[in-house]
Structure 1
Amino acid sequence: MRLLVTGASGFTGTALIRFLSPYEDIQITGITRDKVTRPSGGPGGVTWVTADLLDRDHLCRLVASLQPDAVIHLAGMNHGSPAELFMANICGTQNLLEAVSGIKRDCRVLVTSSSAVYGYQGSSPINEENPFQPLNEYGAAKTAQEILAVMHYRALGISVTIARPFNLAGPGQAHAFLCGKLVSQVVEFGQGKRKALDLFETQSSRDFVDVRDAVKAYWALVTHPRFMEDCAGNAFNIGSGRSYAISEVIATLEKITGRKYPVSLPADPQRVALLSQQSDISRIHRVTGWKPEISLEETLRDMLAAEQARIAA
């Protein structure tokens, strides 16, 4: 199989390539936006190319030369101005789908969206039939990205499916994300560099899924034997099926390290718009058999080990 991965040098892309590295029959081409972002180590067997998904003509020529059998589209942006978010997530996806449509219709495409398209929908598990209710520009951009992908499926017959990951976590996660931030601060606490965890609030709840489980879900979808019948044109939640309050995540870190962590909160806390999210993952389990295997405690243990190793290096 010839596989094209966009955003291949990022957090999820690195996990995906590591997962696929034992498969000798997969020819992986990883797209990075800048040469500097290419991983210096990690699994071999990957052909790296530099491309900007906003450069439509170059992207079309590149995809035509590669003739991929499948595309896993991980590239995008989750922080930035509204214009940057919409350009990266919508226009980049549009260009990629156009490039794929110019080669062959049976090329399978997986577009990664986000649970941000749901916003807050109460405490009940969220399934794929819940309406779009984004609460920020990122969620709005991902909503538009999904609508665009389904449009290409319905109007042009592009073989595209959508993955909606909930809150990813795992070794090497950036400190801008909740689990990455907590792990970094816990390590700093152990080094005596801080006296408390600095957070905005601790009561909201999230569905955390390990990135190593998530990439297995992506692979199960894009390689499904009945892709056109069961996957194309549909969206699939990727989550743990559980919801954890931030205070529970802290308690798990305390259990792992055997320490107690004071929490410093703002004197005037901001209103929390997204009180909770929990995924219903019955659709992907029914279609592919996938289910998460890594517990939150295992994820946090591995994240702590990776952060300590990074600092030591």
Structure 2
Amino acid sequence: MKILVTGASGFTGNRMMEYLTTQGAIEPVGLIRRSNLMNERETKSFIVADLLAPEPLHTAIAGLCPDAVIHLAGLTRGTSEALHAANVTGTKNLLDATVAANPACRILVISSSAVYGYAGDLPIPETALLRSISDYGKSKVAQEELAMSYNPGDAAIAVARPFNLAGPGQIASFVCGRIVNQVISIERGMKEALDLWEISSSRDLIDVRDVVRGYWALVSRPDFASDCSGKVFNLGSGSAYRISEIISIVEEITGEHYKIRLPDAVQQAAIPTQRSDNSRITALTGWKPVIPLKETLRDMLDYERKKREQ
């Protein structure tokens, strides 16, 4: 089974490629935008193509003719125009090229829990209204609408909505990555406190290694076309953690106490809490997250320490 992973050089893409190599008779091929993101030993496992260049993209995917696509590529930050181009136009180009190359291809489009906005304190099912409040979330709503507009008879397309990811190698623009990076800086004497915008909002945090298992549980479903196509699936931990709780867990791991610096005028988070209802994917595939947040954070700390020693 030949599986194309877009965004293969990214945080989740790297983990997805690693996981697929452990799954027996699977040939994972990563799609990346620039050739300098791979080394010479990896040339057989990657193809270079830009999702915003339709003709070269069609040529590359026609040559590969994948059996399945896990579409992770896109932007999380930028202007509304840039986000729409990457997350909507790029997705359309990919879907058109893939369906032309192999109409029977299984396609999993990765969206985001950002499409929900603030949906209250209860676990959020896939049937909840989409009330995105950010340009990123709005681009993901448009991406989903695009994916679902394809005729089910012509393409087998499902959508996954991961909640807040965490895991080794996460960059500092995400809350767990920000906390971990600053903790290591404190350990090395480069900082004296954790600088954060606020610590009262809650997030459903799930380990990226659990998420890629979930993506594979969907894509490898024997009856993907009937069981998954045209449907949306949440992937989260099912628990909401306040940022202050995340810091407390890190303090348990390190045995240290960290001073926290907040802005003089702390603004309330636009989304005070968010929590996933995973019952749909669990009922279909049996998938459940298994990595506790404490283990995730410990692995993140170890990864960052080793990285800075290199």
User: Is the TM value for this pair above 0.5?
Assistant: yes
CA-to-aligned-CA distance 1:216-237 (integer Å, 9 cap, x gap): 0000000101211110000100
Q: Equivalent residues in 2 for 1:28-177 (5 A)?
A: 28-38=28-38, 47-154=45-152, 157-177=154-174
Change (3 A) 1:153 1:198: farther
Contact 1:27–1:46 (Cα < 8 Å) also in 2 = no
Contact 2:47–2:60 (Cα < 8 Å) also in 1 = no
**Could you tell me how far 1:105 is from its partner in structure 2?**
2.0
Identity among equivalent pairs (%): 47
Contact 2:21–2:28 (Cα < 8 Å) also in 1 = no
Contact 1:21–1:45 (Cα < 8 Å) also in 2 = no
Q: Aligned-residue CA RMSD in angstroms?
A: 1.4
Q: Equivalent residues in 2 for 1:7-46 (5 A)?
A: 7-38=7-38
Are residue 229 (structure 1) and residue 230 (structure 2) matched?
no
Change (3 A) 1:39 1:168: farther
Are residue 270 (structure 1) and residue 241 (structure 2) matched?
no
**Could you tell me how far 1:40 is from its partner in structure 2?**
7.9
Q: How far, CA to CA, are the matches of 2:136 and 2:7 in structure 1? A: 17
Q: Which amino acid aligns with 1:6?
A: T
Change (3 A) 1:300 1:39: farther
Q: How far, CA to CA, are the matches of 1:293 and 1:39 in structure 2? A: 33
- Report the secondary structure of 1:260's partner residue: coil
Q: Which amino acid aligns with 2:299?
A: D
**Could you tell me how far 1:191 is from its partner in structure 2?**
1.4
Contact 2:21–2:27 (Cα < 8 Å) also in 1 = no
Number of residue pairs the alignment of both structures matches = 310
Q: How far, CA to CA, are the matches of 1:80 and 1:114 in structure 2? A: 16
Contact 2:66–2:102 (Cα < 8 Å) also in 1 = no
CA-to-aligned-CA distance 1:234-292 (integer Å, 9 cap, x gap): 01001001000000000000000000111100001223211000000000000010000
Q: Which amino acid aligns with 2:202?
A: S
- Report the secondary structure of 2:45's partner residue: strand
Unpaired runs of 5+ residues, structure 1, are: none
Q: Which amino acid aligns with 2:135?
A: E
**Could you tell me how far 1:175 is from its partner in structure 2?**
1.1
Q: Which residue of 2 aligns with 1:282?
A: 279
CA-to-aligned-CA distance 1:157-201 (integer Å, 9 cap, x gap): 310110100000000011111101100001111112111100000
Contact 2:148–2:230 (Cα < 8 Å) also in 1 = yes
Q: Which amino acid aligns with 2:102?
A: K
Q: TM-score, normalised by structure 1?
A: 0.96
Unpaired runs of 5+ residues, structure 2, are: none
Q: How far, CA to CA, are the matches of 1:36 and 1:270 in structure 2? A: 40
Compare 262-271 and 214-223 and name the one that shifted more.
262-271
